[in-house]
C-alpha cells in the first residue's frame, strides 16, 4: 500500500498548479521570475482591468497563448495521465492551470477550474471558441460574428471558478486528495484539502517547497513534480 496507512485507496482527486507545468518551461505565478513578478494581477487579471485597458489584457493573454506552442508536456503530466489510464479506481483531475499540457500529456479528463488559455469566451453570445491566432476587440466572434465581445476564457480574480459543484462532489467522495505544484495561496483551491479531510480523505502535498497550506496535509513529499509524481504513481498502481 502507498505510505499512507492500511485503508484502501479507490477514489483519488488530484489538484495541480503551475508547478506541474514549470518543468515544461511555463512560468509559475509566484516563484522568482513568475508572471506576477512582472505584472500586477490586479492590472491584468480582473474584469475591471479588462474594462480599463483591454489592449493590455489581450496582449498578456495572447503572449501566454503563443507560448503554449513552444512547450511540451513533462513527466508530471504523463505520470498523472498514466494514473488515470491504469488505476483500477476513479481518478479526478482538477487543475488551476489554463494551459493544455495535461491534455497533451495524455489526460482525457481534465477539470479546468480557472478556464483554458487557448479558448475565448464571447460576452455577446456566451459561445466558446478556439481562435486560430491572436485576437482582440476587432476580432469577430466565430459564432455570432459580433466584434468587441471576445475575452480570454480564463477565470479572473473576483470571478467564480468553473465546475465547483462537480469538484465539491469529488472532494466529498475521495479517499485520497493530492495537491501538486501549487503555493496554496488562492481560494477556493487552497481550501480543497480541508474539504477532503473533513470527509475522511487522506491528503498529500507534493511541492518543490512547503506551500502556504502545507500544515493542512497529512502527508508531504518535497521535490520536483516530475520525480515525485512518477514515484507516487508507481506506488499507487502497485497498491502500495
Instruction: Rule CB under 6 A: say whether 225 interacts with ligand APR.
Output: yes
- The cell 508530471 sits on which residue? 76
DSSP state of 208: S
Return the SS3 of 20: helix
| Residue 63 C-beta: closest distance to ligand APR, Å | 16
Instruction: Rule CB under 6 A: say whether 208 interacts with ligand APR.
Output: yes
Alpha carbon 124 to its chain's center: 27
Instruction: Rule CB under 6 A: say whether 114 interacts with ligand APR.
Output: yes
| Residue 162 C-beta: closest distance to ligand APR, Å | 12
Can you tell me which of 196, 207, 217, 236 binds ligand APR, judged by CB under 6 A? Answer: 207
Query: Catalytic: 114?
Result: yes
Q: Is 232 annotated as a binding residue?
A: no
Sheet of 202-207, strand order: 111-112, 90-95, 11-16, 176-180, 202-207, 219-222
DSSP string of 162-187, one letter each residue: TTHHHHHHHHHH-SEEEEES--S-ST
Q: Of the residues 102, 112, 114, 129, which is catalytic?
A: 114
- What is the total count of residues that contact ligand APR (CB under 6 A)? 24
Residue 80, Cβ neighbours under 10 Å: how many?
A: 28
- The footprint of ligand APR on residues 119-178 (CB under 6 A) is none
Return the SS3 of 44: helix
Q: Is 172 annotated as a binding residue?
A: no
Instruction: Rule CB under 6 A: say whether 104 interacts with ligand APR.
Output: no
Report the residue closest to ligand APR, judged by CB.
Answer: 19
Distance CA 67, CA 97 (A): 14
Can you tell me which of 12, 14, 15, 22 binds ligand APR, judged by CB under 6 A? Answer: 22
Q: Is 25 annotated as a binding residue?
A: yes
Distance CA 150, CA 41 (A): 20
Alpha carbon 74 to its chain's center: 15
What residues form the annotated binding site for Zn(2+)? 122, 125, 141, 144
Catalytically active residues, by annotation: 114
What residues form the annotated binding site? 17-36, 61, 64, 96-99, 122, 125, 141, 144, 181-183, 207-209, 225
What residues form the annotated binding site for NAD(+)? 17-36, 96-99, 181-183, 207-209, 225
Amino acid at each position: 500500500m502507498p505510505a499512507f496507512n492500511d485503508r484502501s485507496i479507490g477514489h483519488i482527486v488530484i489538484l495541480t498548479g503551475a508547478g506541474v507545468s514549470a518543468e515544461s518551461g511555463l512560468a509559475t505565478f509566484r516563484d522568482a521570475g513568475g508572471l506576477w513578478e512582472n505584472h500586477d494581477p490586479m492590472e491584468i487579471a480582473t474584469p475591471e482591468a479588462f474594462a480599463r485597458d483591454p489592449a493590455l489584457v489581450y496582449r498578456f493573454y495572447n503572449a501566454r497563448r503563443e507560448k503554449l506552442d513552444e512547450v511540451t508536456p513533462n513527466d508530471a503530466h504523463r505520470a498523472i495521465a498514466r494514473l488515470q489510464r491504469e488505476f483500477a479506481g476513479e481518478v479526478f483531475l482538477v487543475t488551476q492551470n489554463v494551459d493544455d499540457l495535461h491534455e497533451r500529456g495524455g489526460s482525457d479528463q481534465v477539470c479546468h477550474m480557472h478556464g483554458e488559455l487557448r479558448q475565448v469566451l464571447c460576452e455577446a453570445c456566451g459561445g466558446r471558441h478556439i481562435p486560430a491566432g491572436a485576437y482582440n476587440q476587432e476580432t469577430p466572434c466565430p459564432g455570432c460574428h459580433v466584434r468587441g465581445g471576445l475575452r480570454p476564457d480564463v477565470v479572473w480574480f473576483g470571478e467564480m471558478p468553473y465546475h465547483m459543484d462537480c469538484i465539491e462532489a469529488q472532494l466529498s467522495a475521495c479517499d485520497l486528495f493530492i495537491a501538486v505544484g501549487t503555493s496554496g495561496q488562492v481560494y477556493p483551491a487552497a481550501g480543497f484539502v480541508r474539504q477532503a479531510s473533513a470527509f475522511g480523505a487522506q491528503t498529500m502535498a507534493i511541492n518543490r517547497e512547503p506551500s502556504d497550506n502545507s500544515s493542512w496535509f497529512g502527508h508531504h513529499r518535497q521535490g520536483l513534480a516530475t520525480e515525485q509524481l512518477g514515484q507516487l504513481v508507481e506506488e499507487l498502481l502497485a497498491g502500495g
